[in-house]
Structure 1
């Protein structure tokens, strides 16, 4: 569990650092005629989704990004459900995994082999928790290109900011950091019985700080997407884990 969390942190950090350097050269405007696999299957569909959503909302691209975010999160919802199921199974197997580590504490290789056999026996993939963040990587990069390569989005004003420019008052980066922290806390509360929770406390602090430090340099539209996405995740985690906890509670009373 902790290794997967660290991997997510590293992957996300590398992605955001990559985004900060994406403006070294200015690519051509995005259009339906744009050539190349990346533009045709990632950037253009995302741009079209934002544009059409905005058109339905009075050409408000800030709200269009909200609609696009919700649609994207619904599309990847099955991956999130799979991640939750995997996390719950990992949590249930922790006592047996700890026994294996104790039994083979002088033979790390044998301990790893036995742990993998245990996971295979229960059909648990330890890397499944990384799949949602890996799927969101190309989405974030495509979001960036859809913004900077579409003048109507890049130059659009929403509330106090221009979507193609960093937030001049740092409000959105702060909100992105705060909602990232809240998302982690909600996830932690949902998995409060996990023995790895103490190991994850550092991630709760590092992730929001990293998001804040990098978001101040990115277009406001990306920070807006991140805030929307975090809020969706908070609500999603609450309801999905609530259902799981209700199903696992003993019938006819509270467990002692």
Structure 2
């Protein structure tokens, strides 16, 4: 699990670094060059403008629709991630027994524990890192969408509900909602008592809130809608108790 945590933190850090490396002040147009701008950012910008024009220049609705569209596109991967979480939940009792059996902290015992864990994963057809694949897909999409929002000049100055899409939410409502929905979504997916993963459960919402306070409200709106989509998806695929640890032979 520590490996998975490191991977998640690495991806988050990479997103932060890459956000600052690209020129977000350069408007994105059909004339923009380069693989990143031509095949990632501009298509999202074009889709945003297309939907906005369908709804009388309402870029708030456009962002909501594009967010849902993106989530539908990666839905097969997210279903795989959710089912992987459910599979991990099912073998929690066996994992706990192995941890108790090999509780000694010496290196030899811990190596034996890892070997038994891997054997158990293979027997049950569970890949503990399967849930990381969607992260590799989502991060470039999120970063590209961030650029599309920042570099689509038509968005600046447009309002939706109480906030200006091109500026941070002055009342901090969106950042708070983004943080809360991030926590709920991660809590529903949490299937381990590993302390490091529990730290991530609280760290990620805080990071999202911090980003949303300074980023344009359009991006915070994307996070909120995306999180709600994930919460509903998880509920219908696995039920509301996906993140609860089963004990003994109790059945759901």
Who is 1:134 aligned against? 136
Who is 2:204 aligned against? 207
1:60 partnered with 2:62? no
Who is 1:147 aligned against? 149
C-alpha offsets along residues 28-77 of structure 1, whole Å, 9 cap, x if unaligned?
32122322111121101111221112122222111000000001111111
The answer as to whether partners of 1:13 and 1:210 remain within 8 angstroms in 2 is: no
Check 1:112–1:201 CA distance in 2 against 1; reply closer, same or farther (3 A cut): closer
Check 1:108–1:186 CA distance in 2 against 1; reply closer, same or farther (3 A cut): closer
**SS of aligned partner of 2:224:** helix
Q: 2: distance between equivalents of 1:195 and 1:34?
A: 45
Range moving further from structure 2, 60-69 or 82-91:
82-91
1:31 partnered with 2:29? yes
Check 1:41–1:15 CA distance in 2 against 1; reply closer, same or farther (3 A cut): same
Q: 2: distance between equivalents of 1:229 and 1:67?
A: 11
Range moving further from structure 2, 149-158 or 35-44:
149-158
> 1:1-256 alignment to 2 at 5 Å?
4=4, 7-8=7-8, 10-11=9-10, 13-15=12-14, 17-18=16-17, 21=20, 25-106=23-104, 107-187=109-189, 194=191, 196=193, 201-242=198-239
**SS of aligned partner of 2:57:** coil
Instruction: Give 5+ residue unaligned stretches, structure 2.
Output: 243-249
Check 1:182–1:92 CA distance in 2 against 1; reply closer, same or farther (3 A cut): closer
Range moving further from structure 2, 169-178 or 222-231:
169-178
Q: CA deviation at 1:203?
A: 3.6
Q: 1: distance between equivalents of 2:215 and 2:44?
A: 18
Check 1:2–1:94 CA distance in 2 against 1; reply closer, same or farther (3 A cut): farther
Q: CA deviation at 1:15?
A: 5.0
**SS of aligned partner of 2:169:** coil
Q: TM-score, normalised by structure 1?
A: 0.81
Check 1:137–1:103 CA distance in 2 against 1; reply closer, same or farther (3 A cut): same
C-alpha offsets along residues 126-147 of structure 1, whole Å, 9 cap, x if unaligned?
1111122221111111112112
C-alpha offsets along residues 80-104 of structure 1, whole Å, 9 cap, x if unaligned?
1111221122222223333333444
The answer as to whether partners of 2:82 and 2:189 remain within 8 angstroms in 1 is: no
Range moving further from structure 2, 76-85 or 105-114:
105-114
The root-mean-square deviation of aligned C-alpha atoms, in Å, is 2.9
Q: 1: distance between equivalents of 2:112 and 2:168?
A: 51
The answer as to whether partners of 1:20 and 1:214 remain within 8 angstroms in 2 is: no
Q: 2: distance between equivalents of 1:197 and 1:108?
A: 15
